[in-house]
Amino acid sequence: MYQLFYYPGNASMAPHFLLEELGVEYQLMLVDRKTQAQKSAEYLKLNPTGRIPTLVDTQGGSDLVVFESSAICLHLLDKHPDSQLIPDLEDPLRSKFYQWLMYLNNTVQAELMIYFYPDKHTLDASGAQAIASRQEQRLTEMFVLLDSELANKKYLLGDQFTVCDLFLFMLADWADGFSRAPMSMKNLSRTLKLVAQRPSIVQAYKNEGRSLKLYQ
């Protein structure tokens, strides 16, 4: 049994998608950001960073707590090695899987955090908007790179759907408000629409009370 501490539309999306893909038993535990529940003493006992998501794995006799989206996903992939959502160890694409997962998590997601919270990156409150504007430019370049990578490809690793595509979908969704949104890019749009049709995505969005209309 797994417990995923989440908030709709947050970085918990990718692990939520993955739990649905795996078809395992899990429980969603809402962490209400509107009341700063992620900073509560109770939540901080689970995740001292005060961030979302957190996974509690109750299998094996004792609770194992894992935080950070990519770490949670890798943990779940290790627990369910027959998922086919990561290339086999002997497959050269395994290294490409790590490359794109790290790029999405460590580069694109990290840069998106600066875009959404520019005030945390300056002591000059009047400069926050300039930071956000520059970040949008930088991030658009990253999505252009991803769009180019998807030329003549179904998914980031070719024909094999992987957790990388779940991360890509989550981050592209966050960037929907950009002047040049991912859905305006030819190859990204095709892949995102394809991913949006997966039962796991449909169910996760239903669970979170969100709409997939953008991808229809």
Query: Looking at the predicted structure, is the pLDDT value of residue 60 above 80?
Result: no
Place of tokens 């996974």: 55
Nearest of 42, 30, 40, 23 to residue 3 by alpha carbon: 30
| CA–CA dist 42, 92 (Å, integer) | 43
What is the C-alpha separation between 173 and 143, in angstroms, rounded?
12
pLDDT tens digits, 68-89: 999 999 999 999 999 999 999 9
pLDDT digits (tens, 9 = 90+) for 95-105: 999 999 999 99
Report d(CA 3, CA 72) in Å as an integer.
Answer: 11
SS3 label, residue 196: helix
pLDDT at 8: 98
Average pLDDT over residues 145-159: 97
Three-state secondary structure along 102-166?
HHHHHHHHHHHHHHHCHHHHCCCHHHHHHHHHHHHHHHHHHHHHHHHHCCCCCECEECECCHHHH
Q: 2-11, 114-123, 133-142: which has the minimum mean pLDDT? A: 114-123
Q: What is the pLDDT of residue 199?
A: 98
d(CA 118, CA 128): 5
What domains can be seen in the chain, in order of their start residue?
Answer: 2-79 (3.40.30.10), 93-197 (1.20.1050.10)
